[in-house]
Amino acid sequence: PLDAPRPDLILDNPPCAYRLTEQQYHGERTDGPGGAGTTVAQRLAAHGWKVVKTGDSYYVPLNQPERGLIPLLLDAQGVENLTDGERVYPTLTGRRDGPLTVTGFTCLAGATVTGPVTVRAGATLVATGSTITGPVTATGAAGVLLADSTVTGPVRITGTTGAISLIDVTVTGPVDLARNTTGTDTPLLADTTVRGPLACAGNTPAPTNLGLTNTVHGPRTDQCAAL
């Protein structure tokens, strides 16, 4: 097609996220509309993208809606090249048998995990196209973002301070989102199948489904009653 990108602009090995420093994320720029001062944080927020602060870095996962635009802004090869974000590649792509404890920023892509997954306080789990057999438990995490993945076992996410996103996920077991406080970043639970009860309580703000209905084979309660 006439509007196809040049070969040098196509990422043959796409990352799972981009990492930004404090200066890159919050440093003021003068390339906003009319030369107005703006920041990368403001530009990303205008697109509605989720950004997770983990440690002293800011991560922009690619397993979220309109992800195809993210490299255009944050990759050194990007057409707009808002800033040169560091490409973060998956930390697990194959098979893992046994427990997985997430500390820092961990990205699963096309991975198969047989065993419990535990996301520690302040850590972030990003999983795309992955299969987990075992419970997924996150307590006080910075972020949990699952997309196009399957979990056989309960999913319990509590006390998250950054971002929550479950999109096109199939869970065989209960899902519980409780007491997550994510500021202006609304938790997403969309186009997901839950074979078990779905419970959401005490989350600020309450989860949304982006207008994409979830399929729940069990009771839906509290904040998720209408999702």
pTM above 0.75, yes or no: yes
C-beta of residue 144 within 8 angstroms of C-beta of residue 164:
yes
pLDDT reported for residue 31: 64
- Residue 118 and residue 55 in one domain: no
In a domain, 8, yes or no: no
Last residue of a domain, one of 72, 88, 104: 88
Domain count, the chain: 2
Provide the pLDDT confidence category of residue 170 given band limits of 50, 70 and 90. Answer: very high
Give the model's pLDDT for residue 1: 44
Give pLDDT tens digits for 93-121.
Answer: 999 999 999 999 999 999 999 999 999 99
Residues 44 and 121 in one domain: no
In-domain check, residue 1? no
**Residue 125's Cα: distance from chain center in Å?**
8
* 8-state DSSP, 122: T
pLDDT over 50 at 4, yes or no: no
pLDDT of residue 16: 96
Rounded CA gap, 30 and 33, in Å? Answer: 9
Q: Give the tens place of pLDDT for each residue, 30-80.
A: 665 666 678 999 989 988 999 999 999 999 999 998 877 898 889 988 777
| 103 and 203 part of one domain | yes
